[in-house]
Amino acid sequence: MEAVHEHDHSHDHPSGIMRWVKTTNHKDIGTMYLWFSFAMFMVGGVMALILRAELFQPGLQVVEPEFFNQMTTLHGLIMVFGAIMPAFVGFANWQIPMMIGAPDMAFPRLNNWSFWLLPPAATLLVLSMFVPGGAAGVGWTMYAPLTVQQGMGMDLLIFAVHILGMSSILGSINIITTILNMRAPGMTMMKMPLFVWTWLITAYLLVAAMPVLAGAVTMTLTDRHFGTNFFNAAGGGDPVLFQHIFWFFGHPEVYIIAIPAFGVVSQVIPAFSRKPLFGYASMVYATASIAILSFLVWAHHMYTVGMPVEAQLYYMFATMLIAVPTGVKVFNWVATMWRGSLTFETPMLFALGFLFLFTIGGFTGLVLSLTPVDVQLHDTYYVVAHFHYVMVAGALFSAFAGVYFWLPKWIGKMYDETLGKWHFWLSIIFFNVTFFVQHFLGLAGMPRRIPDYSLQFTDFNMISSIGAFGFGLSQLLFLYILIKAIRSGEKAPEKPWEGADTLEWTHLPTPAPYHSFETPPTVK
Amino acid sequence: MIKNDIKSTFGGSMRLTAFLRLICVGTVMLVPGLAAAELQWNFKPANTEIGVAVHDLHSLVMWIIVLIAIVVFGAMFYAIVKHRKSAGHQAHQFHENTTIEIVWTVVPVFILVGMAFPATKALLELRDSSAPDMTIKATGYQWKWGYDYLDEGISFYSTLSTPREQIEGDTEKGENYLLEVDNPVVVPVGKKVRILTTANDVLHAWYVPELTVKQDAIPGFIRDTWFRAEKTGTFRGQCAELCGKEHGFMPIVVNVVSEDEYKIWVAEQKSRVAARN
């Protein structure tokens, strides 16, 4: 009786809204993560455009400074926690079970819960704009003691961060358990596709880093309301303590975003080079090294707080060291392409865009690692340019590459290749128009997070704003391409990509059935 | 025409590859009329010895980066052009080579060690605020700076003097829009000036690009930085740490004057203090 019930349950297809609310299917949950991420990408994008509209010209034209600060804060938080991270969790949900030959995630109900924590958190963030005092205007870094001066928008933000953190931790536990326990026979650790490896490492980073952030914002909350003085010097606390705690989370967070992006690119480049990934083992070791190092370099975000010079030297050397494993990864990707048989469909274009621009972001990271230079560039637009090369051209382009790459497997239909190429070229051109010039603004000394600037910065800001609107509008094309593919895309061939060789391409039909690998495949 | 533009715009400073310059100039061309404007492509010239050292370090690193970029992107674009399927290239199935993997792990380490030496030297100098000729305490307030000349007993506030109408766009913006104050800091040229930073409310940061100084101002704590100006002149900066709604409107202006002018200024300030008492 029990067995029969179980059987019925696992093949139950509820329809309508309840299918999505109650689903425990990794594919449904992956889809929800990805659409949620795209919606947040649009919300955060509109906020970025409000910022760039204000910065189009010197003077205050569009918004008040308070609102400007609220937009910088929400743009950062929504893009990091609402758009980029859920996008890669979406990929993890769809791909990890299929790539390791598992029927689903290890904890399907927990999986459902991890996703459904996100919409309330996003709602809190967006709602905070409409409470008395508006949203918090403190930047996504939430430095004390400015946070103490904020209205209740700050409290909503803190609760949103708590919920987002819970979602990430639960999702990570699920991913770790799935990867460690549910691999098909013969799928040894060192045979796992690199995307799975990168997610295993990322999930450990999340489990280690997110509670630290929760601690930081909880201390902020008690400083605000319950009379504690963690970050208040008058009560024996230290404002800089917040920065240490925040960046102990914050630097691994950078790699939480970047490492799954490495994983996607490490699947796409070999597929379109028709060659196996070069240096698979060294890729795994490099990723693990980056993850470990990421916990040892946090104070390079704090070179101007006045640390002892010995500490600055340590953080400088440790940070420079990250260039080594990162370099290994870049060299491996180039070596994968070397003497391959390359074709340039949209996923490959985005992967190459990633490779080119992420490397530039890595170069500027090297410049910033040097403490004496960073003291000049810290909190200027140079830093803004640097991390957008890593976050947008790095993580976002990699996510685009992943969507175009796996969409045929997910929905059984092809996207419009011509439009996909348009999306790539518009994105990469407007991205550079927006962010390349910000390097010059930073070098010349324009601080970040200012709503108005002196006349010397006018020209580059104007160019950057034009680029930003171009980039934003180009993403509507992406939405159109997705809708077109879903509604009227050509039927995808069983194996649309000649060079793709992971289990989802070799052992499953296209589109992948709702339940896949109910009996595990045997991996040789 | 583009060539001439590059020459005139970049002058002697060569911090980026010609390729990147072309992208930028191309970008500038998108906006008619901008190409002729004076654009700041790099650090503004440093007015301190240590600033020059920092800029040289930056240039050195940029050249190393350019070389690495040529090698890496060169290989990447070579593969894109020569090893494409449409050119009939067959994929070779190699996927590891221990020698080259060791080489490209070890060589970067040596390059980094090479960069670490000048960086360490510059950092040790930059942070050596010992034996100053004079000390000024800069206190960040929401949203203005307060200055105390600890040796002279001079104190004043320094507030944005750009009229509100310029910010709102009702009148034309002046040359030093947002970078002008009622009471600038005055220091003598060639003297080691130590700046103590602190704050009254939230974090601020005292940032003057041409003096190569940026130091957070932290409420309840005192931090320090220093500069020794090589030339006289007016140097403008602003708060660099988000401090609330007027963060963009609390500039820093430092007048570097000759020793004699400085003495006169000090005397004036003291007599003003005396008159007030």
Q: For residue B6, what pLDDT is reported?
A: 39
Report helix, strand or coil for A375.
Answer: helix
Residue B96 forms part of a structural domain: no
Ranges of each domain in chain A: 20-506
The count of other CB atoms within 10 Å of the CB of residue B59 is 15
Instruction: Kindly tell me the burial class for residue A296, based on how many C-beta atoms sit within 10 Å of its own C-beta (0-12, 13-18, 19 or more).
Output: middle
Q: Within this chain, do residues B23 and B78 fall inside the same structural domain, yes or no?
A: no
Contact A137 B31 (CB under 8 A): no
Which residues of chain A have a pLDDT value below 50? Answer: 1-9
- B79 at the A interface (CB within 8 A)? yes
What pLDDT is attached to residue A31? 97
Tens of pLDDT along A173-208?
A: 999 999 999 999 999 999 999 999 999 999 999 999
Q: What is the mean pLDDT of residues B123-144?
A: 96
Same-domain status, B20 and B114: no
Look up A409 and say whether it is catalytic: no
Asked if A26 is an active-site residue, the reply is: no
**Domain check: are B15 and B141 in the same one?**
no
B35-77 pLDDT, tens digit per residue, is: 445 788 999 999 999 999 999 999 999 999 999 999 999 999 9
Residue B273 pLDDT exceeds 70: yes
Rg of the Cα trace of chain A? 23
Domain range enclosing B108: 44-85+103-128
- Confirm or reject contact between B46 and chain A (CB < 8 A): no
Do the Cβ atoms of A176 and A89 come closer than 8 Å?
no
Say if CB A151 and CB A132 are below 8 A apart: yes
Distance to chain A for B141, nearest Cα, Å: 12
* B33 and B57 share one domain: no
B231 within domain boundaries: yes
CA pseudo-torsion sign A34, A36, A40, A43: positive
B95, part of any domain = no
B97 occurs within a structural domain: no
Query: Chain B window 235-274: which residues touch A at a Cβ cutoff of 8 Å?
Result: 236-249
For residue B274, what pLDDT band results from cuts at 50, 70 and 90?
confident
Categorize the per-residue pLDDT at B7 as very low, low, confident or very high, splitting at 50, 70 and 90. very low
Report pLDDT digits (tens) over B155-204. 999 999 999 999 999 999 999 999 999 999 999 999 999 999 999 999 99
Same domain, B112 and B143: no
Q: Residues 193..212 of B with a Cβ closer than 8 Å to A: which?
A: 197, 201-203, 205, 207, 209, 212
When divided into structural domains, chain B yields a total of: 3
Which pLDDT value is given to residue B26? 52
Residues B170 and B271 in one domain: yes
Q: Is the pLDDT at B15 greater than 70, yes or no? A: no
The percentage of residues in chain B with a pLDDT greater than 70, rounded to a whole number, is 87
- Looking at the fold, whether B17 and B78 belong to one and the same domain comes out as no
A363 and B119: CB-CB below 8 Å?
no
CB contact under 8 A, B84 and A344: yes
Q: What is the pLDDT of residue A15?
A: 80
B119/A316 CB distance under 8 A = yes
**What value does the mean pLDDT of chain B take?**
89
Q: Does the structure show a pLDDT above 80 at B277?
A: no
Nearest CA-CA distance, residue B154 and chain A, Å? 25
Distance from CA of A287 to the nearest CA of B (A): 14
Q: Which two tokens stand for residue A119?
A: 């919409």
pLDDT value for B32: 46
Strand partners for B205: B216
How does residue B272 score in pLDDT terms, banded at 50, 70 and 90? confident
Q: Tell me the angle at which helices A309-321 and A346-369 cross, rounded to the nearest 10 degrees.
A: 160
Q: Tell me which chain B residue has its CA closest to the CA of residue A450.
A: B248
DSSP sequence for B53-95: HHHHHHHHHHHHHHHHHHHHHHHHHHHHHHSBGGGTPPPP---
Q: What is the reported pLDDT for B275? A: 84
Distance (Å, rounded) from C-alpha A372 to C-alpha A66?
32
What does the alpha-carbon distance between residue A52 and residue A46 come to, in Å, rounded to a whole number?
Answer: 10
Convert B143-154 to b/e letters by CB count within 10 Å (16 or more is b): bbbbbbbeebeb
What's the pLDDT score for residue A220? 97
In a domain, B79, yes or no: yes
Residues B58 and B122 in one domain: yes
User: Which residue would you say has higher pLDDT here, B7 or A187?
Assistant: A187
User: Strands B213-217, B204-208: parallel, antiparallel or unpaired by DSSP?
Assistant: antiparallel
DSSP letter (8 states) at residue B45: P
Task: Tell me how crowded residue A8 is: count the other CB atoms within 10 A of its CB.
Answer: 9
A20-506 architecture in CATH? Answer: Up-down Bundle (1.20)
Question: Contact B195/B136 with Cβ under 8 angstroms?
Answer: yes
Site of tokens 């870049």? A330
Q: Is the pTM of this model over 0.80?
A: yes
Which residues of B fall within a CB distance of 8 Å from A58? 173, 177-178
Considering the candidates A27, A300, A386, A413, report the single residue annotated as catalytic: A300
Report pLDDT for A16.
84
* Residue A161: half-sphere exposure toward Cβ, Cα within 13 Å: 30
Same domain, B203 and B152: yes
- Give me the interface pTM, i.e. the ipTM: 0.93
DSSP letters for A47-92: HHHHHHHHTTSSS--SS-HHHHHHHHHHHHHIIIIIIIHHHHHHHH
Nearest to A224 by CA among A212, A232, A234, A214: A232
Instruction: Give the Cα separation of A168 and A192 in Å (integer).
Output: 23
Predicted pLDDT of residue B17: 44
Q: Are residues B147 and B255 in the same domain?
A: yes
- How many CB atoms are closer than 10 A to CB A277? 20
Q: Does residue B116 register a pLDDT over 60?
A: yes
| Interface contact flag, A278 B95, Cβ < 8 Å | yes
Catalytic residue flag (residue A516): no
Same structural domain, B63 and B143: no
